Amino acid sequence: MSRRDDAPKTQQSGLSGILDSLAPTAHAVLRIGAGCLFLEHGLVKLFGWITNATPVPLMSLMGLAGVLETVGGVMLILGLLTRPVAFILTGQMVVAYLMVHAPQGLWPIQNKGELALLYALIFAFLATHGAGPLSLDRLRHRRRP
Protein backbone atom coordinates (compact mmCIF):
# COMPACT_ATOMS: atom_id res chain seq x y z
CA MET A 1 0.00 0.00 0.00
CA SER A 2 1.41 3.38 -0.91
CA ARG A 3 2.08 6.18 1.54
CA ARG A 4 -0.68 8.18 -0.14
CA ASP A 5 -3.19 5.50 0.89
CA ASP A 6 -2.23 5.97 4.54
CA ALA A 7 -3.00 9.70 4.48
CA PRO A 8 -6.44 10.94 5.55
CA LYS A 9 -8.87 10.81 2.66
CA THR A 10 -10.75 13.88 1.54
CA GLN A 11 -13.98 13.47 -0.35
CA GLN A 12 -13.37 13.61 -4.07
CA SER A 13 -16.03 13.62 -6.68
CA GLY A 14 -16.18 12.66 -10.29
CA LEU A 15 -13.68 10.44 -11.99
CA SER A 16 -10.98 10.93 -9.34
CA GLY A 17 -13.29 9.73 -6.61
CA ILE A 18 -14.36 6.69 -8.61
CA LEU A 19 -10.78 5.77 -9.51
CA ASP A 20 -9.60 6.25 -5.92
CA SER A 21 -12.33 3.90 -4.70
CA LEU A 22 -11.21 1.28 -7.25
CA ALA A 23 -7.50 1.49 -6.34
CA PRO A 24 -7.46 -1.46 -3.89
CA THR A 25 -9.24 -3.67 -6.41
CA ALA A 26 -6.92 -2.56 -9.22
CA HIS A 27 -3.91 -3.33 -7.02
CA ALA A 28 -5.24 -6.84 -6.39
CA VAL A 29 -6.06 -7.40 -10.07
CA LEU A 30 -2.52 -6.36 -11.07
CA ARG A 31 -0.95 -8.68 -8.46
CA ILE A 32 -3.21 -11.66 -9.17
CA GLY A 33 -3.10 -11.20 -12.94
CA ALA A 34 0.70 -10.97 -13.01
CA GLY A 35 0.90 -13.98 -10.68
CA CYS A 36 -1.37 -16.07 -12.93
CA LEU A 37 0.57 -15.20 -16.08
CA PHE A 38 3.91 -15.82 -14.35
CA LEU A 39 2.64 -19.16 -13.02
CA GLU A 40 1.82 -20.18 -16.60
CA HIS A 41 5.44 -19.55 -17.63
CA GLY A 42 6.66 -21.75 -14.79
CA LEU A 43 4.25 -24.58 -15.55
CA VAL A 44 5.31 -24.56 -19.21
CA LYS A 45 8.99 -24.76 -18.24
CA LEU A 46 8.54 -27.48 -15.62
CA PHE A 47 5.76 -29.59 -17.14
CA GLY A 48 5.21 -28.46 -20.73
CA TRP A 49 1.72 -27.43 -19.59
CA ILE A 50 -0.73 -26.34 -22.33
CA THR A 51 1.97 -26.04 -25.01
CA ASN A 52 3.12 -29.68 -24.81
CA ALA A 53 6.68 -28.33 -24.79
CA THR A 54 9.45 -30.54 -23.48
CA PRO A 55 10.03 -29.72 -19.80
CA VAL A 56 13.40 -28.18 -19.03
CA PRO A 57 15.85 -30.04 -16.76
CA LEU A 58 15.06 -29.09 -13.17
CA MET A 59 18.75 -28.73 -12.27
CA SER A 60 19.45 -25.96 -14.80
CA LEU A 61 19.04 -22.18 -14.93
CA MET A 62 15.80 -22.65 -16.85
CA GLY A 63 14.68 -25.18 -14.23
CA LEU A 64 15.42 -22.67 -11.47
CA ALA A 65 13.50 -20.04 -13.44
CA GLY A 66 10.57 -22.46 -13.74
CA VAL A 67 10.55 -23.10 -9.99
CA LEU A 68 10.72 -19.36 -9.22
CA GLU A 69 7.93 -18.65 -11.70
CA THR A 70 5.69 -21.44 -10.39
CA VAL A 71 6.19 -20.86 -6.67
CA GLY A 72 6.43 -17.08 -7.06
CA GLY A 73 3.30 -16.98 -9.20
CA VAL A 74 1.29 -18.89 -6.59
CA MET A 75 2.62 -16.68 -3.78
CA LEU A 76 1.67 -13.53 -5.69
CA ILE A 77 -1.81 -14.87 -6.46
CA LEU A 78 -2.34 -15.48 -2.75
CA GLY A 79 -0.66 -12.23 -1.75
CA LEU A 80 1.62 -14.14 0.62
CA LEU A 81 5.09 -12.77 1.45
CA THR A 82 4.55 -10.49 -1.52
CA ARG A 83 7.36 -8.01 -0.90
CA PRO A 84 10.25 -10.49 -0.63
CA VAL A 85 8.84 -12.69 -3.40
CA ALA A 86 8.37 -9.72 -5.74
CA PHE A 87 11.89 -8.49 -4.92
CA ILE A 88 13.36 -11.87 -5.89
CA LEU A 89 11.25 -12.04 -9.05
CA THR A 90 12.35 -8.52 -10.04
CA GLY A 91 15.93 -9.73 -9.88
CA GLN A 92 15.07 -12.85 -11.87
CA MET A 93 13.54 -10.76 -14.65
CA VAL A 94 16.49 -8.35 -14.78
CA VAL A 95 18.91 -11.29 -14.99
CA ALA A 96 16.74 -12.95 -17.67
CA TYR A 97 16.71 -9.74 -19.67
CA LEU A 98 20.48 -9.27 -19.41
CA MET A 99 21.32 -12.92 -20.18
CA VAL A 100 18.76 -13.74 -22.85
CA HIS A 101 17.47 -10.56 -24.45
CA ALA A 102 20.12 -7.82 -24.21
CA PRO A 103 22.71 -9.78 -26.26
CA GLN A 104 20.16 -9.89 -29.12
CA GLY A 105 20.03 -6.11 -29.54
CA LEU A 106 19.95 -2.75 -27.80
CA TRP A 107 16.21 -2.07 -27.68
CA PRO A 108 13.59 -4.27 -25.99
CA ILE A 109 11.37 -4.17 -29.08
CA GLN A 110 14.35 -5.44 -31.07
CA ASN A 111 15.47 -8.17 -28.65
CA LYS A 112 11.96 -9.33 -27.64
CA GLY A 113 12.63 -8.40 -24.01
CA GLU A 114 9.54 -6.25 -23.42
CA LEU A 115 7.76 -8.90 -21.35
CA ALA A 116 10.75 -9.50 -19.07
CA LEU A 117 11.09 -5.76 -18.46
CA LEU A 118 7.35 -5.31 -17.92
CA TYR A 119 7.36 -8.13 -15.35
CA ALA A 120 10.39 -6.51 -13.67
CA LEU A 121 8.50 -3.21 -13.40
CA ILE A 122 5.34 -4.86 -12.04
CA PHE A 123 7.33 -6.87 -9.50
CA ALA A 124 9.30 -3.77 -8.45
CA PHE A 125 5.97 -2.03 -7.85
CA LEU A 126 4.73 -4.95 -5.73
CA ALA A 127 8.03 -5.14 -3.82
CA THR A 128 7.76 -1.47 -2.88
CA HIS A 129 3.98 -1.25 -2.36
CA GLY A 130 3.21 -4.70 -0.98
CA ALA A 131 0.29 -6.98 -1.77
CA GLY A 132 -2.47 -4.49 -1.06
CA PRO A 133 -5.59 -4.92 1.05
CA LEU A 134 -6.99 -8.01 -0.69
CA SER A 135 -4.25 -10.45 0.31
CA LEU A 136 -3.09 -13.02 2.83
CA ASP A 137 -0.33 -10.59 3.82
CA ARG A 138 -2.99 -8.15 5.01
CA LEU A 139 -4.75 -10.89 6.99
CA ARG A 140 -1.44 -11.95 8.58
CA HIS A 141 -0.69 -8.38 9.67
CA ARG A 142 -4.19 -7.85 11.06
CA ARG A 143 -3.88 -10.86 13.37
CA ARG A 144 -0.61 -9.72 14.95
CA PRO A 145 -0.93 -8.26 18.46
pLDDT tens figures, 94-136: 999 999 999 999 999 999 999 999 999 999 999 999 999 899 9
Q: Tell me if 2 is assigned to some domain.
A: no
Question: How many domains is the chain built from?
Answer: 1
Q: Say if residues 71 and 88 touch (Cβ distance below 8 Å).
A: no
Question: What's the pLDDT tens digit per position in 7-62?
Answer: 445 567 799 999 999 999 999 999 999 999 999 999 999 999 888 899 999 999 99
The answer to whether the predicted template modeling score (pTM) of the entire model surpasses 0.75 is yes
Please name which of 40, 38, 21, 33 lies closest in space to residue 133, comparing C-alpha atoms. Answer: 21
Q: Tell me if 64 is assigned to some domain.
A: yes
Q: Tell me if 7 is assigned to some domain.
A: no
Q: Tell me if 132 is assigned to some domain.
A: yes
Give the domain range for residue 92: 13-143
Q: Tell me if 6 is assigned to some domain.
A: no
From CA 123, how far away is CA 115, in angstroms rounded? 12
Q: Tell me if 4 is assigned to some domain.
A: no
Q: Tell me if 98 is assigned to some domain.
A: yes
Q: Tell me if 93 is assigned to some domain.
A: yes
